[in-house]
Amino acid sequence: MTHPRLTLPAPAKLNLMLHILGRRADGYHELQTLFQFLDYGDELDFALRQDGEIRLHTEIEGVPHDSNLIVKAARKLQDLSGTALGADIWLRKVLPMGGGIGGGSSDAATTLLGLNHLWNTGIDVDRLAALGLGLGADVPVFVRGHAAFAEGVGEILTPVEPEEPWYLVLIPQVSVSTAEIFSDPLLTRDSLPIKVRPVPKGNSRNDCEAVVSRRYPEVLNALNSLKKFTEARLTGTGSCVFGAFPSKAEADKVSHLLAETLTGFVAKGSNISMLHRTLQNLSQETSAIHS
Ligand SMILES: C[C@](O)(CO)[C@H](O)COP(=O)(O)OP(=O)(O)OC[C@H]1O[C@@H](n2ccc(N)nc2=O)[C@H](O)[C@@H]1O
Ligand SMILES: Nc1ncnc2c1ncn2[C@@H]1O[C@H](COP(=O)(O)OP(=O)(O)OP(=O)(O)O)[C@@H](O)[C@H]1O
């Protein structure tokens, strides 16, 4: 018997600001950052397997099957839930890797929520977010699915409601390793803590920008090109940079003007992630069928 596939999005995120407050004994950095989602991302298909196997059918160059965050997330959920079920998984990769827009983390979060639904394990979002943190600092915000001010290493989340503008995201053709940026001796690590409210405006600073711009001239070039039109910021540890616009038309216009030398995409900012909007629709459809 073939099972129906569950198709779910894995949206990108932006860090609208990112301050580094210090370094912990384990080497991880204490941050303050503001996460917002984009209506743009990867897509995953899930189908049940009765034999307990986890099989990802889409290869990502340079990432072995068992190291893929999708496979790791699925196995962690199997262990936690004790289920005997498995899954076939397909990925449509859209998000650039090492782009600072959280592609791998979002794929992992979509896997946790998708398989939790498919396997009917009943594990709550708090436990899924804690499980996700073991896969990466950015996974919990994708599991919770609400724009958030994040503290700690990114896991202490306070939901916030920033404006939802249109963004132009430029993708410099370099992959930035997060670990490499966090280990740079020149990184600013002594920013003073700020209060969650009022929500910091989208155009406040990212403490990684100076180090990333120095190491990657392509990123500096993208920032300078975008700054001719609007405030430009790095997201996460890069490589992507973004600017906010009041309408899609204005973001598209700048995108076209830069298109000869820079690739990118235009997407709406959202405070409820596409993944969570899709899951909400799914549960409404299910309860309509059963009522
Ligand atoms: C910079 C951000 O993108 C902001 O959203 C994230 O904090 C990074 O999250 P991520 O990509 O999920 O990062 P992880 O896979 O957890 O960590 C990669 C590496 O970055 C460094 N790292 C990461 C997060 C953090 N708060 N401090 C760190 O020092 C560590 O060396 C770690 O080994
Ligand atoms: N499903 C996956 N998608 C992308 N990368 C993955 C995946 N699984 C494992 N990886 C590994 O994780 C690394 C980081 O990928 P990712 O796309 O999350 O980077 P990023 O956008 O810089 O993330 P962040 O914003 O969280 O720092 C990749 O270079 C790759 O080696």
Catalytic residues: 13, 138
Share of the chain above pLDDT 70, in %: 96
Q: Please give the pLDDT value at position 186.
A: 94
Segments forming the whole domain that contains residue 270: 1-291
Q: Please give the pLDDT value at position 108.
A: 98
Neighbouring residues of 31: CB distance < 8 A, sequence distance ≥ 6? 18, 19, 20, 21, 150, 151, 152, 153, 154
Q: pLDDT per residue over 267-291, tens digit each?
A: 999 999 999 999 999 888 777 766 6
Q: Is the pLDDT of residue 247 over 80?
A: yes
Residue ranges lining ligand 2, Cβ < 6 Å:
60, 63, 68-70, 97-105, 107, 138, 178, 236-237
Q: Is the pLDDT of residue 2 over 60?
A: no
- What spacing in Å lies between the alpha carbon of 234 and ligand 1's midpoint? 15
Q: Give the DSSP H or E segment for 71.
A: helix 69-81
Q: Please give the pLDDT value at position 290.
A: 65
Q: Please give the pLDDT value at position 4.
A: 77
Mean pLDDT of all residues in the chain?
94
Q: What is the total count of domains within the chain?
A: 1
Tell me which of 111 and 282 has the higher pLDDT: 111
Give the closest residue to 98 by CA, choosing from 65, 127, 60: 60
Could you give the ipTM of this predicted complex? 0.94
- Structure tokens, 13: 């995120």
Which ligand minimizes its atom distance to the CA of 106? Answer: 2
Q: Please give the pLDDT value at position 219.
A: 98
Neighbouring residues of 271: CB distance < 8 A, sequence distance ≥ 6? 36, 37, 146, 147, 160, 161, 162, 164
Q: Is the CB of 238 under 6 A from ligand 1?
A: no
Q: pLDDT per residue over 201-244, tens digit each?
A: 655 799 999 999 999 999 999 999 999 999 999 999 999 999 99
- What spacing in Å lies between the alpha carbon of 152 and ligand 1's midpoint? 11
Per-residue pLDDT band for 154 (boundaries 50, 70, 90) equals: confident
- What spacing in Å lies between the alpha carbon of 19 and ligand 2's midpoint? 21
Instruction: Report the CATH number that the domain containing residue 43 is assigned in CATH.
Output: 3.30.230.10
Name the pTM for this structure.
0.95
Q: How far is CA 82 from the centre of its chain?
A: 27
Q: pLDDT per residue over 51-94, tens digit each?
A: 999 999 999 999 999 999 999 999 999 999 999 999 999 999 99
Tell me which of 244 and 199 has the higher pLDDT: 244
Tell me which of 19 and 196 has the higher pLDDT: 19
What residue owns the CA closest to ligand 1's atom 26?
153
Question: Which of 35, 63, 71, 177 for mutating ligand 2's site (highest number of atoms within 8 Å of CB)?
Answer: 63
